[in-house]
């Protein structure tokens, strides 16, 4: 098994969290390099594309969150082998990444009123559309998993998004938006939190 070092921001969530959770579920050792926000400006030039997460694999570096998540999913048997099921998994992960990009575009808005307007438009538009669609995908696939009729990294990716949105940390994004637009995603997230290894991980955190 390769020596792994995941570098991501020092909080539980975001683009790095599905990778952490996959490794925890599989019991694979890894170095969890957590970057403080006040350290990021100094460390940013050392990343391939000026963004996190990045993953070191036996000293070699890969970037891009879905690339890392797929790779770790294959290492941990949390990514489908069947090409069609893999495509379903990828589709969900890419949809979440689209939404992460929309959220990210609002973070650097300095003017409070402009940020409020942008966030409210995001919540009413693309965010609601994505949540409703993901809810429908989950329902059409049996209500428990997004692909392969089992836990995959797509589930971990959606869980991370849902937990982030429901935490209330994003100003002007209603913390109950997921509950109102995508109740199955809430049940899905709650079920994942009861997974023995995920529950133990967050208890220790």
91-137 confidence digits (pLDDT tens): 999 999 999 999 999 988 999 999 999 999 999 999 999 999 999 99
Per-residue pLDDT of the chain (205 residues; tens, 9 = 90+): 899 999 999 999 999 999 999 999 999 999 999 999 999 999 999 999 999 999 999 999 999 999 999 999 999 999 999 999 999 999 999 999 999 999 999 988 999 999 999 999 999 999 999 999 999 999 999 999 999 999 999 999 999 999 999 999 999 999 999 999 999 999 999 999 999 999 999 998 8
Asked whether this chain's domains 4-78+198-204 and 83-194 adopt the same fold, the reply is no
State the residue for tokens 């990444």. 97
Closest CA to 193 of 19, 10, 5, 25: 25
Q: Which pLDDT value is given to residue 76? A: 98
Per residue in 133-143, pLDDT (tens digit) is: 999 999 999 99
Check: CATH 3.30.465.10 for 83-194? Answer: no
Rounded CA separation 55/67 (Å): 10
Task: For residue 48, give the nearest of 32, 67, 34 by alpha carbon.
Answer: 67
Alpha-carbon torsion angle 42, 43, 44, 47, nearest 10: 150
Domain residue spans of the chain: 4-78+198-204, 83-194
Domain spanning 4-78+198-204 has what CATH number? 3.40.30.10
- Provide the whole-model pTM: 0.95
pLDDT value at position 193? 95
Which residues are paired to 62 by β-bridges?
55
């Amino acid at each position: 098994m390769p020596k792994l070092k995941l570098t991501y921001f020092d909080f539980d969530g975001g683009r790095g969290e599905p990778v952490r959770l996959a490794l925890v579920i599989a019991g694979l050792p890894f170095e969890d390099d957590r970057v403080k926000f006040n350290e990021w400006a100094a460390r940013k030039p050392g990343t391939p594309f000026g963004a996190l997460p990045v993953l070191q694999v036996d000293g070699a570096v890969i970037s891009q969150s879905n690339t890392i998540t797929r790779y770790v999913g294959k290492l941990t048997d949390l990514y489908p082998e069947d090409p069609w099921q893999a495509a379903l998994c990828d589709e969900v992960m890419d949809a979440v990444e689209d939404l992460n990009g929309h959220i990210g575009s609002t973070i650097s808005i300095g003017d409070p009123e402009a940020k409020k307007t942008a966030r409210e438009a995001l919540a009413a538009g693309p965010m609601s559309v994505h949540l409703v669609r993901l809810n429908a995908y989950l329902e059409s696939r049996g209500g428990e998993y997004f692909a392969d009729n089992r836990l995959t990294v797509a589930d971990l990716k959606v869980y991370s998004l849902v937990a982030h949105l429901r935490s209330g940390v994003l100003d002007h994004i209603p913390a109950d938006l997921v509950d109102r637009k995508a109740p199955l995603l809430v049940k899905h997230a709650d079920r994942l939190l009861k997974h023995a290894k995920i529950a133990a991980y967050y208890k220790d955190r």
